[in-house]
Structure 1
Amino acid sequence: MPRELKRIFSDLYSKIASTGRKNVDKIFSELEIELVESGLSVQFLDGIKEHIKRELAGKDRVSEDFLKGKIREHVLKKIKLEPPDLGFIIKKAKEEGRIPVFLFFGFNGVGKSLSLVKTADILIKNGFSPLIAAADTFRSAAEEQLEGYARMIRVQVVKGGRGADPAAVIYDAVQKASFKGFDVVLGDTSGRRAMDRNLGEELRRIVRITKPDLNILVVDGLAGSDVVNQCIGFSQFVPIDTVIVSKVDAGGYAAAIQASYILEKPILFLGTGTSVKDYVKFDPEKAIDEMF
């Protein structure tokens, strides 16, 4: 098992403090395998490494506390972002005479459907009436799974059936929301197991047609360094506005920190269990202190 991240970083601070700027690349290289095995991506580590080199420019030696403080400051600046105000978005759309659409993206198995229903629960607690569009028409049983979660909080689901046009399902949901007095449509989308051109183009088409007010990426808190691939894979095809990180109760904060850092987007909330009520607000400072 890899050492916990705090101990690896303590080793990194100590080595850089004792040898100076000229050995930063070498020290990161020596510890890279352990860091990646502990769930950090090369892209994230490269960002930290380059920042350290900039901070050490013109300095012969620095203390371990100096390095720790500069890394914390650097990462916090990147991830201390205000999540979108869902209520404000809904009210603004209402003033414009339309139903807002929030789209959810993510690979199969990351907890996308459950995270969507958790978002619906948040909206209900804030006095809004959400309607769900089951627009993942590719995966077998996707509609049934989504309906099962939605029943727990008594939210209606608009379905199109397997193989239906996802954009058409969302359109139908918007029409129903308008006629029946719902405030917002939450649209599930197809995820598959990996990003490919077909999936990317399908998602791009959905965004082009439905013109969503918010694009939400759901990533797996247990994915380790692969969370960055999830972020990059989806952001290549659709603009991402905010991120939900699932399974944080089992995976810690590394995925949330890296997702926000790489995309430079805020975390909407963290999923902390399998119940629709299991979610908490993301606290960047607490997350950094826990990880580093």
Structure 2
Amino acid sequence: MRLVSHPVLCNYYVTYRCNASCGFCDIWERPSPYVTLENARQNLRDLKRLGVRVVDFTGGEPLLHRQLPELLREAKALGLITTVTTNALLYPKQAEKLRGLVDMLHFSLDSPIAEEHDTSRGVKCFDKVMESIELARNLGERPDILFTVFEHNVHQIKQMHEGICLPNDLVLILNPVFEYNTVDTGDRLSEEALQQMSWWGKQKNVYLNDAFIQLRRDGGNHIEDPICRAASTTIVISPENKLVLPCYHLGLKDFVIDNNLFALYRSDEVQKLVALEGRLPACEGCAINCYMQPSFAVEINKYFWLALPSTLKYNWVKGTWKQLISS
């Protein structure tokens, strides 16, 4: 049974540019402009009209966009919940300007060991993450640590949790790695690794969506009976001010927004593509977290019930449940 029929999330790519070169990501390889404040203002109003509640200003590295504080301020003025994930290289310089504008601020950290994290990112940034944690807390912010879990680093969850997150009263978000396109993400997660993550997800200040674990056990999305609701739950906007469908990673088709996102999204041409969500050949086996998360939230099935406890836990700890109720 479908609970919500309108989009609830926008993945707003403010730029594809990045100041890191992570081996498990290919976004930074793409040439890219920056979104304009003028276009964003209109798009955000239309997103609100379409029923979107959360805007993820993403990239690339979103802090490369010099007008990010203004973009966030526009979203907040509309009552939208904001989220930003950053490698933290630029956060110390921009922390004051970002203060109070990001409801869910995530610092990416791939290892509790500086050398390993910096190797993963292709640039030295471990020390910037540590500096950013201290600075953010001094400003009254409470960032999360986003830990992408591979087969080779699952054993480091304990050190991340006990050595970095608990002492700083931060939430550790476990982000199981996913495959897409031709990006090399290493070996698939074993059953033992999935079990370890599931156990850690029940511990204090740890967030793991257990539906992610079950989806991997089930072999990901299956086109004959899709769980993916990417196109109907998530609006993807590119730095070129285009609507991308059915999702960023597949990017089958894009449409120039031209200051009328509301009408464009509801047009017959777009809705025909929306109807194909999860059913395209490339959708087979997909387990991309950023699109499955909202998919699990809008339809009652086994994944909905698996996702619910962790979702309630996170929103309670972060206090964002108040905004969800009021919006």
Coarse TM-score class (shorter-chain normalised)? 0.3 to 0.5
Whichever structure has more helix as a proportion of its residues is 1
**Bigger radius of gyration, 1 or 2?**
1
